[in-house]
Amino acid sequence: MLISKIRPHDQHYSEYFSRPALFFPCGMIFSLDQSYTTPYRHPVLIFKSKKTLHWGELVVPLWGLEKDWHERLLDSASAFSLVIDDRNLWFIAASRLPAKVHPAARPGAFVAELWKHDVAELFIADPCSGRYIEFNLAANGAWWSCEFRAPRERAESIDIAFPGVATHAELSIDGGWMAALAIPIDLLGARIGFGATSLINVTFIVGSPEQKFVSAAKLPGVEPDFHQPGHFSGFQFHELEET
């Protein structure tokens, strides 16, 4: 497994996109093994920061997902990181390829049905109650959230934005992107019981309109279905190397 560190707003940040070898350097990105034949249940790493994080000052490891639901290689890895500080759980997603986002998506806007176009998704489940929450993040920082009582059974019939969420995004002139959701951890605890027993999955939908479905956890089924909280992975914290 390999690692890449990306620093948003760094003076050389644009080079990560104009020079892909720097964005995803050879031998410098964590690649999750997706060759497994049984559900992937290795713990997801959540990097833990000792200081409050701010967009523009992040230096974080990225995990790369190289295969789609049908185990076909992607044109380029979809990358993500999960980082927690004293206030927020940060969900960071990136790609060196352009994304086709929902036509209604605007930076920072709460927009339903982002999944009909390219999007990164974070799922957090409570295995005791069966409840889970889904966060969608578009390449330009548009986002959406929804709580579920059970697989595909919404807790509310209308869209209600998860409170306190902030989004950030960077786009390059040649289409590469990096975006992030900062989610208040106290509200995650209150709303979905976020804690040591929580189950997590990160997914991507890429290549719209000919969509490819990508999941960090190996989910069962012939056709893509991300709403399988019983097959999400546990997590463990790993101290973030401070710079």
Percent of the chain with pLDDT over 70: 82
pTM for the whole structure:
0.86
Average pLDDT in the chain:
84
Whether 13 has a pLDDT exceeding 90, the answer reads no
Report angle CA 76, 215, 234 to the nearest 5 degrees: 130
| C-alpha span between 83 and 52 (Å, rounded) | 11
**Residue 27: band (very low, low, confident or very high) from pLDDT cuts 50, 70, 90:** very low
pLDDT digits (tens, 9 = 90+) for 180-222: 999 999 999 999 999 999 999 999 999 999 999 999 999 999 9
Segment among 25-34, 40-49, 112-121, 163-172 with least mean pLDDT: 25-34
pLDDT tens track for 69-122: 999 999 888 999 999 999 999 999 999 899 999 999 999 999 999 999 999 999
Domains of the chain, with CATH numbers? 5-239 (2.60.40.1190)
Name the residue with higher pLDDT: 64 or 209. 209
DSSP string, 140-196: TS-EEEEEEEETTEESSSS--PPTT-EEEEEE-TTS-EEEEEEEEHHHHHHHH--ST
